[in-house]
Amino acid sequence: MKKPKQFPRLLAEVLVIVIGVLVALGVDELVQGREADSSEHAYLRGIVEDLRQDSVELSARAQAWSQWGDYAEQLLRVVQDEALEGEVSLFELIREAGLYALPVTAAATYEDLIAWGISG
């Protein structure tokens, strides 16, 4: 008759273990959710900083392209047999009228996201 008395105790132990595992899984999911939110905010801050750097770079390039256009116009006039204006030598004019490199965007955060497979 000892077996019937042990069954409720065994059932109670199994229920305690199952409830403990479910609680642990719930706590783990909550912690992982918070970590994911924290990582998401860090990546968003990184993307905002990359965009700020891009804005500064593009502003500088816009000013350089404006000057490049001025030099290119002067060079065109010289090629069309007009007089060279100002104190710029022909060599400087040719060098300055050369093509400027395309702007380079700051994409460190985006590249991190792609590298870790978190692009979604």
Upper half-sphere CA count for residue 20 (Cβ side, 13 Å): 6
Query: How many domains does the chain contain in total?
Result: 1
Answer yes or no: is 120 within a domain: no
Find the helix or strand (DSSP H, E) in which 82 lies: none
pLDDT of 68-83, one tens digit each?
Answer: 777 777 777 777 777 6
Q: How many CB atoms lie within 10 A of CB 12?
A: 10
Answer yes or no: is 20 within a domain: yes
Answer yes or no: is 17 within a domain: yes
Answer yes or no: is 102 within a domain: yes
Domain that holds residue 65: 2-115
Mean pLDDT of 8-28: 91
Answer yes or no: is 88 within a domain: yes
Quick one: tokens of 91? 């060599």
Mean pLDDT of 42-69: 85
Confidence band of 113 (pLDDT split at 50, 70, 90): confident
Q: How confident is the prediction for the chain on average, in pLDDT? A: 79
pLDDT of 86-110, one tens digit each?
Answer: 666 766 767 666 655 556 677 777 7
CA distance 43 to 63: 31
Answer yes or no: is 7 within a domain: yes
